[in-house]
Amino acid sequence: MNLRTHIQSRLLGLQAQGIQHQVDRTYREGGAFQWVRETLVNAQEAGAKRIHFGIEWQAVESMGVYRRLIADDGRGMRADELVGFFRTFGGGGKPIGGVHENYGVGSKTSLLPWNKHGIVVVSWVNGEAAMIWLARDPESGEYGLRVFAAKDPATGETTQEPVVAPFKDRESGCDWSLVKPDWITEHGTVVVLLGDTPSCSTIEGDPGRAEDDIKGLCAYLNRRIWQFPADVEVTVQEMMHSDRRRWPSSVAGVGQRREALGCVNRVVRGARAFIEYSGANDGRVASSGTVELRDGTAVDWYLWEGERPSIQSYAAQSGYVATLYRNELYDVGQHHATYRSFGITEAKLRARLWFVLRPMEFDPASGRRGIYSRTDRNALLISGGRDAGAPLPIGDWAADFADRMPAEILAAIRAERATGSGTIDDERWRERLAERFGDRWRITKLRARDGGTETVEPGQAGAGSPPAPILRAPGAGASSGRREGGRKSRNDMGSVAGAIAAARSQVAGGIPTFRRVPACDVDPGMLAAWQPHDPEHAEGVVLLNVERPVLETEIRRWQAEYPPHQADLVKDEVIQVFGELAVAKIAHSERLKSILPGPTVDQELRSPAALTMALLGLMGSDAVLADRLAGKCRRRVS
């Protein structure tokens, strides 16, 4: 081909091709029930006061097919808007493009891949109904709007139309004009999900994902959405039984609870209501508050006292850590390790303590570091500063929180620990270890300083107990500048906020300690875990799982060698030795920071698995060595 000579230029916009692949890819990256979030938020953004995840009962009665229907009384869409908003990938009636704005893809990407036979949208504006049908062409694989042969009632002319008046549809077993609940009057929208074939029941969600739990939809919304405005009501039509044979065969079954038959309309209340649970008889949120972290992230915490009500699986029964972004919770987790980084170990306390993190939002205009949501809206990322699309630094936030532990949580920790085992009376072992490792072990403390941005209650450790003793390595001068932690004569240091201006400072902090904990306080199967931020031990604490069978075996082995009346003493000593050895491992690993990156030491060498392996390696080896050597050598006569 002969190319022409350049005179002037303009831009040809990019063209989109193979949109179905983008739709499918985004769907794959999203999580279970994403479509619930997308349809709910669309309805809320349309100003709906009532949103109902119901069942389309006409097809139940005519075909035995249970289709999910989402109805709202928002502003609705006119015929031309229906086509514009649902035919265009990236098209919608709201501002699109900004990092915190809409993307124009939510409903399409979350619904189409598992509703290839169709999604019917019927919408009313000023009482007038219009309907579209989105589907996938089985031949080309493309998604699009079905085109209907339609007759103009005035002229009798037949044309091909993507938008029609809702009609009686024999194949689908329903009349689309009758899907409107009576509480939608002039304005509103109903979306009906048809699944991949005309006979699909879609009330159990996408069959390719774990969405078939009968309470799943409710549970998802009550974990994902933080709260609803007082004038918005969200309900879910929910079967009482997972066995399909026990589902009602007509709308008359709604409201029947008898013998676990039937179907109920359940009100969705949002995650916050289930934490606070006002009206519970035997317990309540006894204290709550907000801690501001260094980078502007706020952490809301809620501490429950007494019995938790039985929430079953409609929402989260017990404590969790989550990040809140624009009224939605992300990364909801209950893992030991997450709580541990907040300085919380005890299972009983974790069950009644919630942390809701509210980081700053990313501001692209100023470049301010902050969070935004990923395209599939299933995860949050951080951007700004040197971070671009990085995962959230939950560990850093948690460590910062642990340094500012509210007094009420501290009191709860002490109360839980007072009932458990694991107090250590004899601290001489720590003194021995501190002589070997203490000068390397540095911790953050608050120190009184004029004009400091923080405050301190000097002379107090976080627990209200005196600071851990810092022993000087032999020969080290007591006035050495680096060795200012612990029992220094000037009482200008502490761990809790107080009346005196202060700044944070890194000081030599003694040596970690260890605590005996039950199995439920560490990761399943692990013998130990390292908790670097502990409100009672600024220098960190090793958690030793005293319920681990391997430790019990070791205890029995040693008990067998001593008279029965000393069994308790032997047990205590074995646990003590393993605790000390675990602390020595942690202290020793500090030295490796001169040859390995700090995060490798913290996250890998001190992981529960690594610590467990280190301790397992110590078990029984003395006995093996004693036997071998006894067989080969003669003991030295001292």
Ligand X SMILES: Nc1ncnc2c1ncn2[C@@H]1O[C@H](COP(=O)(O)OP(=O)(O)OP(=O)(O)O)[C@@H](O)[C@H]1O
| Secondary structure letter of residue 103 according to DSSP | -
- Sketch the per residue contact string, 137 through 176, with ligand X: x for CB under 6 A, - otherwise: ----------------------------------------
173: contact with Mg ion by CB under 5 A: no
How many residues at the interface with ligand X, by CB under 6 A?
A: 21
Compute φ and ψ for 574, nearest 5 degrees: -60, -45
Nearer to ligand X, 94 or 490 (CB): 94
Got the DSSP string for 532-567? S-BTTBTT-EEEEETT-HHHHHHHHHHHTTS-GGGH
22 part of the interface to ligand X, by CB under 6 A: no
Per the rule left: phi > 0, alpha: psi between -120 and 50, beta: everything else, 97 is: left
Of the candidates 36, 40, 66, 72, which one interacts with ligand X according to CB under 6 A? Answer: 72
d(CA 609, CA 627): 29
Binding mask 183-202 for ligand X (x = CB under 6 A): ------x-------------
DSSP labels, 579-605: HHHHHHHHHHHHHGGGTS-HHIIIIII
Encoded amino acid at 598, one letter? G
132 contacts ligand X (rule: CB under 6 A): no
Please list, in sequence order, all residues whose beta carbon lies within 8 angstroms of the beta carbon of residue 350, skipping any fewer than 6 positions away.
318, 319, 334, 336, 339, 344
The reply on whether position 103 binds ligand X by CB under 6 A is yes
Minimum CB distance to Mg ion, residue 94 (Å): 8
Q: Does 373 contact ligand X by CB under 6 A?
A: no
Residue 106 binds Mg ion (CB under 5 A):
yes
- Figure out which of the listed residues 19, 36, 40, 46 binds ligand X, where binding follows CB under 6 A: 46
CA distance 34 to 98: 21
- What is the smallest separation between the CB atom of 101 and ligand X, expressed in angstroms? 7
21, 62, 64, 94: which one contacts ligand X (CB under 6 A)? 94
CB nearer to ligand X: pick between 94 and 168 = 94
450 φψ region: left (φ > 0), alpha (ψ -120 to 50), beta (else): beta
Counting contacts by CB under 6 A, is residue 85 touching ligand X?
yes
Q: How far is the CB of 264 from ligand X (least distance, A)?
A: 24
Which of ligand X, Mg ion, none has residue 93 at its interface (CB below 5 to 8 Å by kind)?
A: ligand X
Toward Mg ion, which CB reaches closer, 113 or 359?
113
30 binds Mg ion (CB under 5 A): no
**How far apart, in whole angstroms, are the C-alpha atoms of residue 117 and residue 169?**
14
Q: Which of 397, 175, 167 is nearest to 297 (CA)?
A: 397
Minimum distance from CB of 105 to Mg ion (Å)?
A: 8
Residue 244: Cβ within 10 Å count: 12
* 74 binding Mg ion? (CB under 5 A): no
Residue 105 binds what, of Mg ion, ligand X, none (CB under 5 to 8 Å, by partner type)?
ligand X
Q: How would DSSP label each residue in 204-216?
A: T--TTSS---TTH
Would you list the DSSP string of 140-162?
T--EEE--EEEE-TTT--EEEES
Contact status: 39 vs Mg ion (CB under 5 A):
no
102 scored as a contact of ligand X (CB under 6 A): yes
Q: Number of C-alpha atoms within 13 angstroms, CB side, residue 246?
A: 15
Chain positions 326 to 355 lying near ligand X, rule: CB under 6 A, are none
* Closest distance to Mg ion from the beta carbon of 517 (Å): 46
Q: Is 92 in the site for ligand X (CB under 6 A)?
A: yes
Q: Which of 20, 26, 34, 42 binds ligand X (CB under 6 A)?
A: 42
- 269-308 burial, b at 16+ Cβ within 10 Å, e below that, comes to bbbbbbbbbeebeeeebebbeebebeeebebbbbbbeeeb
Within 10 angstroms of residue 95's Cβ, the number of other Cβ atoms is 10
Q: Which residues contact 246 (CB under 8 A, 6 or more apart)?
A: 239, 240, 260, 261
30 near ligand X, rule: CB under 6 A? no
Question: In DSSP terms, which residues pair with 188 in a beta bridge?
Answer: 124
Name which of Mg ion, ligand X, none residue 103 binds, using a CB cut-off of 5 to 8 Å depending on partner kind. ligand X
The CA distance from 275 to 354, in Å, is: 8
Q: Is 43 in the site for ligand X (CB under 6 A)?
A: yes
104 contributes a contact to ligand X by CB under 6 A: yes
Among 77, 218, 234, 271, binds ligand X (CB under 6 A): 77
Q: How far is the CB of 41 from Mg ion (least distance, A)?
A: 6
Region of 60-68, 88-96, 284-292, 535-543 interacting with ligand X (CB under 6 A): 88-96
Using CB under 6 A, which of the segments 41-49, 153-161, 195-203, 438-446 binds ligand X?
41-49
Spatial neighbors of 452 by CB under 8 A, at least 6 apart, are 501, 502, 503
Nearer to Mg ion, 69 or 433 (CB): 69
Decide: is 162 part of the binding site for Mg ion (CB under 5 A): no
**253 near ligand X, judged by CB under 6 A:** no
**Is the Cβ of residue 101 or residue 152 nearer to Mg ion in the bound state?**
101
**Residue closer to ligand X, measured from CB, 376 or 484:** 376
Residue 42 sits in the site that holds Mg ion (CB under 5 A) = yes
Best CA proximity match to 290, nearest among 316, 324, 335? 324
Closer residue to ligand X, CB minimum distance, 113 or 510: 113
What secondary structure, in 3-state letters, does 50-87 show? EEEEEEEHHHHHHHCCCEEEEEECCCCCCHHHHHHHHH
Contact 344, 353 (CB under 8 A): yes
Least Cα distance to 144 among 104, 86, 84 occurs for: 86
Question: Can you give the binding site for ligand X, defined by CB under 6 A?
Answer: 38, 42-43, 46, 72, 74-77, 85, 92-94, 102-108, 189
Question: Can you give the binding site for Mg ion, defined by CB under 5 A?
Answer: 42, 106
